[in-house]
């Protein structure tokens, strides 16, 4: 087999998955073959195990169906009350998604993944609730019967004859850990007979047919297969992560050609199964034939099919090509597709003979690519396609055809005596052409047939009978009919192409106009004003844009029409859209019942806001093309907002830098102005005291007082300036590994005079590791702590310094045997300008500085009272991981 | 040591500081030449040829470091920098640019005079003089014999510890920056960093200091370097 390393895309996908694995919740699905095998029971048992491991388990919803064993398991678990939703007078009990989110559990249990929510809930399906829980980072346990899996719907319908309406996309299963809850069919039937299996009333009818050994065995096999495939995929992904050096086969790539019809859904499911079996990537493509016009209805059907493929995990594409076969093969070769899957055409054989079968042509030209032809089968029509109908040919066109032929016949009667019969044929042909040129095939054929009949009846001998004397006229008739058909067909094609081109041009023009206007617009308000007006015009809608305010709450920033406040519900929809970055509301899968569409404005760096679009005619917005266009408008708006914000940020940071420069120059000039006189005072006093000078006795004492107090004032000024510098957040730490001992030494040295007469004991083991720190700032911490101890304890009281490593950090203590601190002071003394009650000394800045410095180092500082009296100040400094090396490790 | 008849150029723009410096220096017998900005400092240095310069780093017209660099182009006279606290990077830059020592404002006159004496002593030592024997508070280092005694007891140091101590002894009383230590002890072999210097000093202190937490010989000049205490005159 051909082997190669995994492609870069595979690695990227793996990396992305790994990334999302970290912040997304984990999903565990308890998969069963049929109702009654004990899925809920297993889930609850498993959850109890988790609870025993101290996980915060919340039962979001569990259907016990009154079974005693199952209910017993709920004992002691935290159960979320259900939300009651009223629908057509019936109260329905639903899972309370918002309740679950606000409760923030560690693990949440949500039974019956395939359930359809009552109208009025946020999501149409419960699996969407679960996906939201996962996206928001919560772990979920849930249960699922195998027949509810989207890709198995058809198989199950074939095997059991029961068509399942509620389904769960395979992608949900793929991100889950699957646990199979297995019960042999015989035992299940036994349980059924004992009345231990519960059905919905609607399902009860089907149950008799459903619960047959053959069905159950088939379903069991399916469930086993799904589980095995899931395990296989997990093993493979594990193996890829752990041993990237192993060689991997080139992965197969599948291409499935999707049409507008409902039978394409079957094709897609088959492709999904095939892709899963081959571990292949797969692409679903809808190729629009440029030579054929498609009704909106058909296009909507195709888009619906593509959405299904996307839900099943395919990459989807829409192409427009002159030749469907060539287009398909071009794409296949471009993307290295190994297998193409197409549906069997259902048109009559003679048509194939006439124009050639697409499938035959594809097979003939495919070369090295395998082509799989799969039977198409009518399924349920896609529901949303029903909103559109093709443009009907109005009856007046037929009337017109009729009138034209009649007028022509009248004219022919008038000129019949004067001209040859062949010229009358020309007149009828001209009429047929004129009708055909209006672009409708039906009226053209009608005109042609009527013309032939009239010509035959009134003019071809024998006149006033449909008999034809000369068989040559048969050729004339055929030519007329053919001309009518061909010309009407050509006209229709030209017109459709012109319309398509016109539509495309309109779209391009609208986009272009918006981007041109946005390019010259600055400021959020103006951007909104310009783009909302523009989008409102193009889509004939009322628009409201929302952006988060300072507190992160979405608020209305602009609207296209008159201002209107959103109510709480609308706001919560907008918030949801903003948080998850997905559209919701009208025309989407989420909350389709509300009357507006909410589109997230997603820029390059994430969501910047939400656009609420309320169309004046809702049908218009439901056309997929329009939705896509609207989304690209929203994207453009988001990018414009983001660019504007970035420019603002750049301006702001420039301003900040300017401010900072001003502040620091102000600071240094203030510091210079305060320090210079102090330096002069201290210097002068010391000058007088110098060298056993003549100053003695009381005068000498006073001079010493001047010098000491000057020095103290100088320290205060330094503290004040240092506080300003530290709290402005612009101090850059110059961290280098330092021995604590050295810092203690230099700070004791500096405070020699202040600490005179006290015993200072330092307990610093010689082999302590070096600590990364800013030595100048840390020396300040020691100085401030020692000064604090000296000022708040009576003279002569000992001060102790100790350092040791503790839990990966350096712990340093400065303690005294003074009066200690009041309990309410322990925290407050670190506040700026706080004065300790016990003493009037100190400006209350020293400890605040200590805290700022230690915080900047990523450490912690706090005060405690010492057993046996006195206060102890402790701080920690983080040590780099594995820094066991002490000062003896080197040199 | 006598400082008589020597000329000292004081570059300082603050009059009150200039005033006390003048009186303290004159009391020591020095001839004081004053400059209040960088330009006049350079002119006076050229015309009066001072034996020493006291240089404030914050001058109204020029950066003090620039003045120092220009002075160093033609004179080897000792320069002591005066700078404020929190300007460690300025001090390092000053030492790198050729300053002999520095003083942090506010300072006392005793400290100033001690630095001046040390600077003169270093400036007047000739290269051919035999290396002095350093003796201070129980520590004795004989550079010629490569021997060290602590309280009359000989101590054996590792080569690296000895080299480091020797550099400090040769600069006794003066600050020696981290960079200079690396250059002179490790000869810029590439494997040394300020961290190695600190570890080596730490070990050295434990060999020669009686209380390494409160060293009496090797003092730390925070953020700049180390200073070996020297006997005063």
Q: What value does the mean pLDDT take over residues A452-459?
A: 85
Report d(CA A81, CA A859) in Å as an integer: 44
Residue A89 burial (10 A CB sphere; 0-12, 13-18, 19+): exposed
Find, in chain B, the residue whose alpha carbon is nearest to that of A885.
B199
Radius of gyration of chain B (CA): 18
Residue A151, pLDDT score: 78
Q: Do A891 and B105 touch (CB under 8 A)?
A: no
Confidence of residue A222 (pLDDT cuts 50, 70, 90): confident
Q: Point out the residue among A675, A684, A887 whose CB comes nearest to the CB of B202.
A: A887
Question: Does residue B153 sit at the A interface (CB-CB below 8 Å)?
Answer: no
Q: What value does the mean pLDDT take over residues B102-117?
A: 90
Q: Is A834 left (phi over 0), alpha (psi -120 to 50) or beta?
A: beta
Q: A239: Cβ–Cβ under 8 A, 6 or more apart, which residues?
A: A246
Confidence of residue A212 (pLDDT cuts 50, 70, 90): confident
Question: Does residue B1 sit at the A interface (CB-CB below 8 Å)?
Answer: no
Q: What value does the mean pLDDT take over residues B113-122?
A: 91
| Interval B157-189: pLDDT, tens | 999 999 999 999 989 999 999 888 988 888 766
Q: How far is A712 from chain B (nearest CA, A)?
A: 11
Confidence of residue A388 (pLDDT cuts 50, 70, 90): very low
Higher pLDDT, A551 or A299: A551
Residue A196, pLDDT score: 66
Confidence of residue A353 (pLDDT cuts 50, 70, 90): low
Higher pLDDT, A412 or A581: A412
Mutate: best of A664, A665, A680, partner B, most B CBs <10 A: A680
Contacts of A749 in chain B (CB under 8 A): 214, 219-220
| Interval A653-675: pLDDT, tens | 888 888 877 877 787 788 888 88
Residue A800, pLDDT score: 92
**Alpha-carbon distance values, B149 to A345, A398, B205, B227 (Å):** 105, 125, 13, 19
Q: Do A679 and B196 touch (CB under 8 A)?
A: no
Q: Is the pLDDT of residue B233 over 70?
A: no
Contact B102, B80 (CB under 8 A): yes
Q: Is the pLDDT of residue B99 over 90?
A: yes
Residue A20, pLDDT score: 52
Q: What value does the mean pLDDT take over residues B70-97?
A: 87
Highest mean pLDDT among A264-278, A335-349, B132-146: B132-146
Q: Point out the residue among B85, B158, B203 whose CB comes nearest to the CB of A718.
A: B85
Residue A590, pLDDT score: 75
Confidence of residue A389 (pLDDT cuts 50, 70, 90): very low
Highest mean pLDDT among A220-229, A494-503, A705-714: A705-714
Residue A250, pLDDT score: 47
Find, in chain A, the residue whose alpha carbon is nearest to that of B207.
A766
Residue A256 bridge partners (DSSP)? A284, A341
Q: Mind giving me the DSSP string for B91-152?
A: HHHHHHTT--EEEEES--HHHHHHHHHHHHHHHH--TTSPPPEEEETTEEEETTTTEEEETT
Q: Is the pLDDT of residue A191 over 60?
A: yes
Q: Is the pLDDT of residue B122 over 50?
A: yes
| Interval A74-129: pLDDT, tens | 888 888 888 888 777 777 788 888 888 888 888 999 998 888 888 778 888 888 88
| Interval B132-144: pLDDT, tens | 788 888 899 998 8
Higher pLDDT, A123 or A383: A123
Residues 67-96 of B with CB under 8 A from A: 84-86, 88
C-alpha A135: how far from chain center: 8
Higher pLDDT, A369 or B87: A369
Report d(CA A218, CA A161) in Å as an integer: 12
Q: What value does the mean pLDDT take over residues B98-117?
A: 90
Q: What value does the mean pLDDT take over residues A337-348?
A: 77
What is the pTM assigned to this prediction? 0.49
Residue A252 DSSP one-character state: P
Higher pLDDT, B32 or A314: B32
Q: Is the pLDDT of residue A204 over 60?
A: no
Contacts of B201 in chain A (CB under 8 A): 742
Q: How far is A891 from chain B (nearest CA, A)?
A: 7
Residue A200, pLDDT score: 53
Q: Is the pLDDT of residue A284 over 70?
A: yes
Q: Is the pLDDT of residue B52 over 90?
A: yes
Q: What value does the mean pLDDT take over residues A443-450?
A: 84
Contacts of A680 in chain B (CB under 8 A): 14, 16-17, 19-20
> Prior bond to B106 cis, omega within 30?
yes
Q: Is the pLDDT of residue A873 over 90?
A: yes
Q: Mind giving me the DSSP string for A298-338?
A: HHHHHHHHHHHHHHTT-EEEEEEESSHHHHHHHHHHHTT--
Report d(CA A20, CA B57) in Å as an integer: 56
Q: Is the pLDDT of residue A251 over 70?
A: no
Return phi, psi of residue A141, to 5°.
-110, 140
| Interval B178-230: pLDDT, tens | 888 988 888 766 667 888 889 999 999 999 999 888 899 999 988 889 999 98
Task: From A161, A165, A256, A257, select the one nearest A212 (Cα to Cα).
Answer: A161
Instruction: Return the minimum-mean-pLDDT range out of A29-33, A279-283, B97-101.
Output: A279-283
Q: What value does the mean pLDDT take over residues A27-56?
A: 86
Q: Do A766 and B206 touch (CB under 8 A)?
A: yes
Contacts of B24 in chain A (CB under 8 A): 683, 687, 690
Question: Does residue B198 sit at the A interface (CB-CB below 8 Å)?
Answer: yes
Report d(CA A231, CA A229) in Å as an integer: 5
Q: Which helix (H) or strand (E) holds A780?
A: helix A775-792
Instruction: Return the minimum-mean-pLDDT range out of A214-218, A410-414, A469-473, A639-643.
Output: A469-473
Residue B189, pLDDT score: 61
Residue A811, pLDDT score: 94
Q: How far is A745 from chain B (nearest CA, A)?
A: 5
Q: What share of chain B is helix, strand, coil (3-state, %, to 5)?
A: 40, 25, 35
Q: Is the pLDDT of residue A199 over 90?
A: no
Residue B149, pLDDT score: 93
User: What percentage of chain A exceeds 90 in pLDDT?
Assistant: 8
Report d(CA A734, CA A384) in Å as an integer: 65
Mean pLDDT of chain A: 79
User: What percentage of chain A exceeds 70 in pLDDT?
Assistant: 84
Confidence of residue A351 (pLDDT cuts 50, 70, 90): low
Confidence of residue A346 (pLDDT cuts 50, 70, 90): low
Q: What value does the mean pLDDT take over residues A575-595?
A: 80
Q: Is the pLDDT of residue B7 over 90?
A: yes
């Amino acid at each position: 087999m051909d082997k190669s390393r995994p492609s870069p895309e595979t690695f990227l996908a793996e990396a992305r998955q790994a990334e999302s694995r970290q912040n997304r919740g984990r999903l565990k699905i308890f998969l069963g073959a049929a109702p009654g095998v004990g899925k809920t029971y297993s889930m609850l048992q498993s959850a109890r195990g988790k609870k025993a491991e101290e996980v915060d388990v919340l039962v979001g919803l569990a259907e016990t169906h009154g079974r005693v064993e199952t209910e017993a398991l709920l004992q002691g678990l935290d159960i979320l009350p259900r939300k009651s939703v009223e629908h057509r007078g019936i109260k329905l009990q639903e899972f309370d998604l918002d309740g679950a989110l606000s409760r923030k559990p560690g693990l949440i249990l949500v039974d019956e993944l395939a359930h359809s929510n009552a109208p009025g809930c946020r999501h149409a399906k419960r699996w969407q609730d679960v996906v939201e829980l996962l996206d928001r980072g919560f772990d979920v346990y849930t249960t699922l019967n195998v027949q509810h899996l989207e890709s198995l719907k058809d198989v199950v319908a074939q095997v059991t004859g029961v068509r399942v309406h509620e389904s769960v996309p395979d992608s949900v299963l793929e991100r889950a850990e699957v646990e199979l809850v297995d019960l042999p069919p015989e035992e299940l039937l036994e349980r059924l007979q004992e009345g231990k299996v519960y059905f919905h009333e609607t399902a009860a009818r089907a149950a008799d047919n459903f619960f047959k050994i053959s069905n159950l065995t088939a379903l069991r096999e399916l469930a086993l297969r799904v589980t095995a495939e899931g395990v296989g995929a997990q093993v493979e992904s594990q193996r890829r992560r752990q041993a990237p050096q192993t060689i991997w086969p080139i992965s197969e790539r599948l291409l499935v050609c999707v049409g507008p019809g409902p039978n394409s859904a079957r094709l897609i499911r088959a492709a999904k199964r095939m892709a899963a079996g081959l571990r292949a990537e797969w692409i679903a493509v809808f190729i629009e034939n440029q030579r054929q016009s498609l009704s909106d209805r058909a296009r909507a059907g195709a888009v619906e099919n593509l959405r299904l493929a996307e839900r099943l995990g395919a990459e989807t594409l829409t192409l427009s090509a002159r030749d469907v076969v060539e287009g398909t093969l071009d794409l296949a070769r471009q993307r290295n597709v190994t297998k193409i899957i197409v549906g069997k055409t259902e048109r009559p054989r003679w048509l194939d003979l006439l124009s050639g079968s697409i499938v035959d042509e594809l097979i003939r030209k495919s070369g090295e690519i395998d082509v799989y032809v799969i039977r198409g089968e009518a399924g349920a029509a896609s529901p949303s396609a029903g909103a559109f109908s093709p443009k009907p040919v109005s009856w007046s066109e037929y009337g017109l055809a009729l009138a034209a032929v009649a007028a022509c016949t009248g004219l022919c009667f008038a000129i019949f005596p004067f001209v040859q019969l062949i010229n009358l044929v020309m007149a009828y042909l001209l009429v047929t052409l004129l009708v055909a040129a209006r672009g409708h095939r039906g009226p053209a054929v009608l005109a042609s047939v009527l013309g032939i009949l009239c010509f035959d009846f009134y003019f071809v001998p024998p006149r006033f009978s449909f008999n034809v004397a000369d068989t040559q006229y048969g050729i004339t008739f055929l030519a007329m009919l053919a001309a009518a058909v061909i010309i009407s067909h050509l006209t229709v094609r030209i017109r459709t192409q012109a319309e398509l081109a016109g539509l495309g041009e309109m779209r391009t023009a609208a986009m272009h106009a918006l981007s041109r206007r946005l390019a010259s617009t600055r400021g959020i308000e103006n951007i909104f004003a310009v783009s909302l007006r523009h989008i409102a015009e193009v889509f004939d809608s009322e628009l409201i844009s929302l952006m988060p305010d300072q507190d992160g709450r979405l608020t209305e920033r602009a609207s296209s029409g008159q201002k209107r406040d959103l109510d709480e519900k609308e706001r919560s929809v907008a918030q949801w859209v903003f948080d998850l970055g997905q559209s919701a509301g009208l025309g989407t899968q989420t909350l389709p019942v509300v009357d507006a569409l909410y589109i997230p404005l997603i820029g390059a760096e994430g969501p910047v806001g939400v656009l609420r679009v309320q169309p004046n005619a809702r049908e218009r917005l439901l056309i997929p093309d329009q939705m896509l266009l609207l989304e690209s408008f929203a994207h453009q708006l988001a990018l414009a907002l983001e660019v504007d914000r970035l420019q603002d940020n750049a301006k702001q940071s420039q301003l900040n830098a300017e401010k900072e420069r001003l502040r620091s120059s102000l600071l240094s000039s203030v510091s210079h102005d305060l320090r210079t006189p102090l330096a002069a005072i201290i210097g002068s006093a010391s000058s007088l005291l110098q060298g056993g000078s003549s100053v003695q006795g009381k005068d000498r004492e006073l001079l010493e007082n001047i010098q000491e107090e000057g020095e103290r004032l100088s320290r205060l000024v330094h503290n004040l300036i240092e506080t300003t510098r530290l709290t402005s957040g612009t101090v850059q730490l110059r961290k280098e590994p330092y021995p604590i001992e050295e810092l203690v030494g230099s700070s004791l040295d500096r405070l020699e005079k202040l600490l005179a007469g006290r015993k200072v004991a330092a307990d610093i083991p010689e082999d302590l590791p070096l600590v990364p720190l800013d030595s100048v700032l840390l020396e300040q911490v020691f100085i401030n702590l020692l000064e604090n101890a000296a000022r708040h304890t009576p003279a002569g009281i000992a001060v102790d310094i100790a350092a040791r490593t503790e839990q990966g950090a350096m712990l340093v203590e400065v303690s005294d045997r003074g009066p200690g601190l009041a309990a309410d002071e322990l925290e407050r003394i670190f506040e700026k300008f706080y004065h300790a009650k016990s003493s009037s000394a100190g400006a209350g800045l020293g400890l605040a500085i200590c805290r700022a410095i230690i915080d900047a180092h990523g450490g912690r500082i706090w005060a405690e009272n010492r057993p046996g009296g006195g206060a102890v100040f402790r701080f920690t400094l983080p040590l780099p991981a594995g820094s066991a090396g002490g000062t003896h490790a080197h040199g | 040591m006598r400082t008589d008849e020597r000329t000292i150029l004081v570059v300082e723009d603050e009059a009150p500081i200039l005033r006390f410096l003048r009186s303290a220096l004159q009391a020591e017998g020095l001839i004081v030449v004053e400059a209040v900005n960088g330009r006049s400092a350079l002119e006076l240095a050229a015309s009066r040829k001072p034996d020493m310069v006291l240089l404030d780093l914050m001058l109204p017209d020029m950066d003090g470091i620039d003045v120092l660099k220009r002075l160093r182009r033609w004179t080897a006279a000792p320069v002591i920098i005066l700078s404020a606290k929190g300007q460690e990077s300025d001090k390092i830059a000053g030492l790198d640019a050729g300053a002999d020592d520095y003083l942090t404002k506010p300072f006392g006159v005793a400290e100033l005079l001690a630095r001046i004496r040390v600077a003169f002593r270093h400036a007047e030592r000739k290269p051919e003089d035999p290396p002095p024997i350093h003796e201070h508070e129980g520590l004795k280092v004989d550079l010629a014999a490569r021997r060290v005694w602590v309280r009359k007891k000989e101590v054996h140091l590792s080569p690296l510890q000895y080299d480091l101590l020797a550099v400090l002894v040769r600069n006794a009383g003066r600050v020696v920056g981290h960079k200079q230590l690396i250059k002179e002890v490790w000869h810029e072999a590439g494997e040394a960093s300020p961290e190695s210097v600190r570890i080596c000093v730490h070990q050295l202190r434990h060999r020669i200091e009686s209380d390494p937490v409160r060293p009496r010989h090797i003092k730390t000049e925070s953020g700049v370097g180390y200073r070996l205490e020297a006997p005063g005159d």
